[in-house]
Amino acid sequence: MDTLTNLKTFVAVAKYGGFSDAAKQLNVVPSVVAKRISQLEKEMRTRLFQRSTRRVVITEAGIQLRSRASGLLAEFDDVVHSVQRDDKKLEGHIRIMAPTTLTMMHLGKTLSTFMAQHDRITMEVSLVDLSSNPEEQSFDFAISGRSASYEGVVDVPLCSTHPVLVAAPSYFEKKQQVLAHPRELVEHACLVFSPSGSRWNFQSTRGVLSVEVSPVLMADDNLTLKQAALLGMGVAVLPTYVAADAIRSGELTHLLPSFPLQDTWFRAYVPKRRMRIARVEALVDWIAKDLTKFSDSLKVLG
C-alpha cells in the first residue's frame, strides 16, 4: 500500500470515528483499513489512534496529522484534475467559513452567483462568527471582519465596512435628552457588539476619540442589536450594510455624522498552499469585486 492510500484511509477513520464506518465509505473490509493505518503508523513512527474493543480515539499526533492531511489530499486531487482536463473551466469543491450576518444579507447570493457561472464547482459554506484558522480545519479560506494573524495563512483585503452610530427616534423621545458629542454616550443606554468591546472609537478633528460605554445589551450578532435599536432600547454601532435600510426609512437615525466611526475591513484568510488553486483564487477575486461594489453603494446614506 502506498502512503497516499494510507493517508486517505487515515482521514476517513478520523472523520467517521471508526474502522468499520471508514471501511464502508472506502468500500473495503475493516481489516484492510486496520492494515493501512498500521502501515501509516509504522511509517510515521507514532501511534495515530488508540484502539479498544469499543472505540477508536485519535491521538494528539493524529490530530496534528489530520489538520494537514486533508488539505494535502485535496491539493493532490487538484493537481490530478488539472492534468486530466484540457479545458480551462473551473471545477472542484470549495470549503469556506463566512460570517453569519453578512452571508445571510448579501454573501449567500454572491456565492450562488459564482456557482451558477461555474457549473463544475461544488461548495460547502460554514457560518462561523469566531476568528478561526482555516488551515487547521481544512477550509480553503475564511472570511472575517475581525483582525487575525495565522502562521501559513495570507490575509487578502476584500472591502472596508463603515460602521454608523444609530438609535430609534423613540429612544430619544423616552430619554428626553439629545446626543451632541461622543463623550455624552456615557449617559446613554448602549447596545454593544461583544467581539468589538465597549470602547467605541470616533474620528475627530483632533484625532481618534475613544469612549468607554456602558452596555445594556451585549450580543455577538448585529441583527440582534439592530432589533433592539429599532425597539428604542438604546444607541448602537452597526455596520452600514445592516443599518442602511432602517436609516433610509426613518426607523433609525444616523447619529453624530461629524464624528465618524473608524472603518474596519473584511478579509479572506487563505492558507498559502491554497492560494495557487485556480478555483480558490477565482472565488476570492469574485468576492472582493462584489463586496467592494456592495460597500461603495452604502457609503452615502440617503
Question: Is there a contact between 196 and 262 (Cβ–Cβ < 8 Å)?
Answer: no
Q: What kind of fold does domain 163-255 have according to CATH?
A: D-Maltodextrin-Binding Protein; domain 2 (3.40.190)
Domains 3-68 and 85-159+264-296 share a fold: no
pLDDT of 302 above 50: no
Task: Give the pLDDT band (50/70/90) at residue 298.
Answer: low
Q: What are the helix (H) ranges across the chain?
A: 3-16, 19-26, 30-44, 60-84, 100-102, 108-117, 169-175, 222-230, 240-249, 278-296
- 212-222 pLDDT, tens digit each: 999 999 998 89
- Give me the residue spans of the domains in the chain: 3-68, 85-159+264-296, 163-255
Residues 57-79 have a mean pLDDT of 75
Q: CB within 8 A of 88, min separation 6: which ones?
A: none
- The pTM of the full predicted model, rounded to 2 decimals, is 0.69
CATH 1.10.10.10 fits 3-68, yes or no: yes
- Taking the C-alpha atoms of residue 254 and residue 211, their distance in angstroms, rounded to an integer, is 18
CATH 3.40.190.10 fits 85-159+264-296, yes or no: yes
Over the chain, what is the mean pLDDT? Answer: 88
The pLDDT, as a whole number, for residue 296 is: 75
